[in-house]
Structure 1
């Protein structure tokens, strides 16, 4: 077993000693069948921003917009390429491209390997780096070797460029499939674009006002209006305006975190940048700087979606006095990736 002690409030081991799915295990065939009953009108809604939004890297200096370019053969670019150049008599014209893409630049899922913590899982009094269900750096999540405890891996062929999640990679999510019942919580309907940090009480008021029912295995989807601002800025994001507008969850609210645990939701997605308010409210050290990520990804194995686009879906649901829909949102099946772009589709 990879751990002797699990974090307080964690579900490590509850789905098996080698589990890599976490709360997605709650999306069972029975829950998928129940979710399919939400399809009544047959309308579909795309819940993704264009994947070259927000534009630039003002929101995160590490993440750059996608760069499309042709594929090449013998120096020839395969866009508008007349195959007759290689095969006389051919009438085909070929276009084929490739992309350099930051996987969490735009509408995305976080893999469970995205956020770990310093935690004494071995019970030896020393906190070590560890991820959901006790998976470890360098052994399970491989990356550049730049930490003292990784000296033994200094000659590893990964060098300083390679990264690969042998465990908890996004392909685990893709293989299970993300298809189930989405439940809309429209915070923007009540708070507009007010800069507001949403705790348990605020969330419960919106759930009550809209008669929102949440059941185990549901995927909770939060609209704050943030992605709508991003779209309006037309790839020229105003980082100051964005970071001082709209709702975000209070990751320091213990009652909110406990509700996430008790609700049985399988995943949580929002249209804002990190789901939670960042930076979080101050807390005595040691403490996570991304407490909601810590609670969801590290403790519960609960995937987080960010920068989803929800305006049209939310408006349609409100006119129909509905909050539930059938959601299909598989990430890329890219082995070893720490996150993935996604184009979610809501069917109502």
Structure 2
């Protein structure tokens, strides 16, 4: 009976697609070129996967939502390039000088090859300090220990380690497309909402929707009548870099060195709220990637028994960027009166790698 209902449902979808000129993703693996994808509440149950998992691009998939960056979508996004102005979004590698969450301090050495004639660099760094992509090996679904597409810790380290969900797969595919900036910091200031990005402050979906409206953007997905396109890259400015620049070195270090351990997490940062509305929006918009300027993208620590990281990375396979420098970008968007632009990123091509600096550029 269930198979009959499923077959009937697929036939009905085919008829609707014929009438509307859509191409709905129904059969796993989904076709990235589809024009319509299931909402979160419509996700199929995948055998062996946690609830809410969208492991829909094939058993051997390693790039998740980057599949949505098809040649046709990238070509369409290139139309965002009108003036040719370039805005990099990368912090210097030594910012912050003291990284949060107990991560290692960046060290730079000059190696003399021949005095006054030739030199090399030597970098010692943690790819999770500064402007960073959280790769799919970075954060698991806590309840099941699954990383994206069923990867396990044993795939990452140990005698059975392999390249499943390694960051180099992103480098092989490439990241380029249309991006959308929501300048929540400016919106909050205009509405008298005061907060310190170096403290816990949860940004709700309702606030982001109001922020978008102020910018002239309906942040709902196009399938719901909004302005978000399939494969868009979402960036949210919370003002973390602005706050960082306003603090003394001592204040920065004190914040970064706050306790970080399970059950006693003193790290406190602004970010998106842990709420169902945020999850539905992030999923249903079919962003290719999401990112922000704060150390955790989501408000930290979570006040729920789950993290947004679990959904974005482990369940949906969506690249998650943190600590992008969005100050100049916000200025340029405001100057130009537009909040969409072409965006490109070059992740590190490191087989077996967990994460990468973003190496990102916005082009107007």
Which of the five TM-score ranges fits, normalised by the shorter chain?
A: 0.7 to 0.9
In the alignment, what sits opposite 1:173?
Answer: 170
Confirm whether residue 55 of structure 1 aligns to residue 97 of structure 2: yes
Confirm whether residue 64 of structure 1 aligns to residue 64 of structure 2: no
Residues 53 and 230 in structure 1, CA contact (< 8 A), matched pair in contact too: no
Residues 293 and 324 in structure 2, CA contact (< 8 A), matched pair in contact too: yes
Residues 270 and 300 in structure 2, CA contact (< 8 A), matched pair in contact too: no
Confirm whether residue 11 of structure 1 aligns to residue 54 of structure 2: yes
Equivalent residues in 2 for 1:69-148, closer than 5 Å: 69-71=109-111, 77-78=112-113, 81=115, 93-119=117-143, 127=144, 129-138=145-154, 140-143=155-158
Supply the RMSD in Å over aligned alpha carbons.
Answer: 2.3
CA distance in 1, matches of 2:248, 2:76: 38
* Deviation (angstroms), 1:36: 0.6
CA distance in 1, matches of 2:168, 2:342: 22
Confirm whether residue 184 of structure 1 aligns to residue 181 of structure 2: yes
1:324 paired residue among 304, 327, 340: 340
1:309 paired residue among 315, 325, 328: 325
1:201 paired residue among 199, 206, 212: 206
* Deviation (angstroms), 1:232: 4.3
Structure 1 length-normalised TM: 0.78
Bigger shift: residues 129-138 or 228-237: 228-237
* Deviation (angstroms), 1:247: 4.2
* Deviation (angstroms), 1:41: 0.8
CA distance in 1, matches of 2:142, 2:253: 34
Structure 2 length-normalised TM: 0.75
Unaligned runs of 5+ in 1: 72-76, 83-92, 120-126, 144-155, 159-163
Aligned residues: 293
CA distance in 2, matches of 1:235, 1:103: 22
CA distance in 2, matches of 1:208, 1:40: 24
Task: Mark the CA change 1:244 to 1:99 in structure 2 (over 3 Å): closer, same or farther.
Answer: closer
Unaligned runs of 5+ in 2: 1-45, 218-226, 259-265
Aligned residue for 1:258, secondary structure, equals: helix
Residues 142 and 166 in structure 1, CA contact (< 8 A), matched pair in contact too: no
**Structure in which a larger fraction of residues adopt helix:** 2
* Deviation (angstroms), 1:240: 3.9
Confirm whether residue 338 of structure 1 aligns to residue 354 of structure 2: yes
Confirm whether residue 31 of structure 1 aligns to residue 73 of structure 2: yes
* Deviation (angstroms), 1:278: 0.9
Aligned residue for 1:117, secondary structure, equals: coil
Residues 230 and 286 in structure 2, CA contact (< 8 A), matched pair in contact too: yes
Aligned residue for 1:68, secondary structure, equals: strand
1:268 paired residue among 290, 312, 315: 290
CA distance in 2, matches of 1:97, 1:207: 43
CA distance in 2, matches of 1:206, 1:218: 18
Equivalent residues in 2 for 1:273-288, closer than 5 Å: 273-281=295-303, 283=304, 287-288=305-306
* Deviation (angstroms), 1:5: 2.5
CA distance in 2, matches of 1:5, 1:256: 26
Confirm whether residue 43 of structure 1 aligns to residue 67 of structure 2: no
Residue deviations 1:138-189, cap 9 Å, x none? 1x2115xxxxxxxxxxxx4x9xxxxx66211111111111111111111011
Aligned residue for 1:95, secondary structure, equals: strand
In the alignment, what sits opposite 2:228?
Answer: 214
